[in-house]
């Protein structure tokens, strides 16, 4: 009996013929500058170009876990926004102003992605968790502005004056809470030790998202709130005029 190398016989999963390929795609085996997601995309592109058109590619091991976790976190991000919207709608008793508050979320995501690119980091599991955290962290700035402006409007103050007064009163709390959150996330972004490289994107996402969102929230959210409030005031005026006209015309 002699041992020799031979091609692996094809397997069958059901009726299709299957064949396995096990390249090393664990994070420890990759170059420091290459992310696991980029390696998966490169290998998938090469396999798609070389294999027949009816070939199906299925991931396994770390690659499959990364793909599944990414899909689950995307669902969690959407659910977080939905839950926040429902809570805000119940508190404001409106479906308009929750959209105004949530305007801070896309600004935070843009800031997080920009910071990750600037730091040379990738969007991994930790950075995605950081973006989910941003949904709750950055909306508090908008809530401080919108809630106080609504209180002033209820007292009869004009739209522009109400937002200017809300910005003047709420500016200090917004800056204080944002700076405190950023300072708390800096040790994660600058941490060292075992696993620090994987955890740093979490700190980058939080720091960049909050910093970027805080600056732009002070300009974008007031503009959106004033436009929405003027639209609501116009609708109320039309509704009141219609009701008054109907009352006058009634016999």
Residue with tokens 């420091």: 32
- Rounded to an integer, the average pLDDT of 213-241 is 84
The reported pLDDT for the residue numbered 248 is 52
CA dihedral 105, 108, 110, 116 (to 10 degrees): -140
Residues in the chain: 251
Copy the structure tokens of residue 192.
């060292």
The reported pLDDT for the residue numbered 205 is 92
Angle subtended by helix axes 36-50 and 61-92, to nearest 10: 120
Comparing C-alpha atoms, which of 107, 112, 115, 94 is closest to residue 209?
112
For residue 207, pLDDT over 90 is answered with yes
User: Is the full-model pTM beyond 0.85?
Assistant: no
For residue 165, pLDDT over 90 is answered with yes
The reported pLDDT for the residue numbered 74 is 80
Highest mean pLDDT among 223-227, 233-237, 243-247: 223-227
Asked if 146 and 159 touch (Cβ cutoff 8 Å), the reply is no
Say if domain 62-249 classifies as CATH 3.30.300.30: no
The reported pLDDT for the residue numbered 62 is 58
Helix-strand-coil percent breakdown of the chain, rounded to 5? 75, 0, 25
Which range, of 34-38, 97-101, 193-197, 226-230, averages the lowest pLDDT?
34-38
Neighbours of 22 (CB within 10 A): 7
For residue 250, pLDDT over 80 is answered with no
The reported pLDDT for the residue numbered 110 is 93
CA 251, CA 248: separation in Å to the nearest integer? 8
Per-residue pLDDT reduced to its tens digit, 76-129: 888 989 999 999 998 888 888 899 999 899 999 999 999 998 988 877 778 888
Per-residue pLDDT reduced to its tens digit, 2-52: 666 655 555 554 555 555 555 555 555 555 555 556 666 676 777 777 777
Domain ranges for the chain: 62-249
């Amino acid at each position: 009996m002699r041992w020799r190398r031979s091609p692996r016989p094809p397997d069958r999963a059901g009726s299709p013929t299957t064949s396995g390929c096990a390249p090393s795609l664990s994070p420890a085996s990759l170059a420091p500058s290459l992310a696991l997601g980029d390696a998966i995309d490169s290998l998938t592109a090469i396999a798609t170009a070389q294999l027949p058109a009816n070939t199906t590619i299925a991931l396994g091991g770390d690659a499959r876990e990364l793909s599944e976790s990414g899909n689950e976190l995307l669902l969690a991000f959407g659910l977080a926004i939905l839950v926040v919207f429902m809570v805000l709608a119940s508190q404001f008793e409106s479906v308009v102003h929750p959209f105004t508050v949530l305007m801070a979320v896309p600004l935070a995501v843009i800031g997080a992605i920009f910071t990750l690119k600037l730091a040379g980091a990738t969007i991994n599991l930790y950075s995605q968790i950081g973006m989910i955290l941003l949904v709750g962290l950055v909306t508090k700035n908008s809530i401080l502005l919108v809630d106080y402006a609504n209180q002033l409007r209820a007292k009869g103050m004009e739209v522009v004056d109400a937002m200017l007064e809300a910005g003047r009163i709420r500016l200090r709390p917004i800056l204080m809470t944002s700076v405190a959150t950023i300072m708390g996330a800096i040790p994660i972004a600058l941490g060292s030790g075992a696993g620090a490289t994987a955890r740093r994107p979490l700190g980058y996402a939080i720091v960049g998202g909050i910093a970027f969102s805080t600056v732009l929230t002070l300009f974008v959210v007031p503009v959106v709130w004033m436009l929405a409030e003027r639209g609501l005031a116009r609708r109320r005026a039309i509704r009141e005029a219609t009701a008054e006209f109907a009352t006058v015309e009634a016999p």
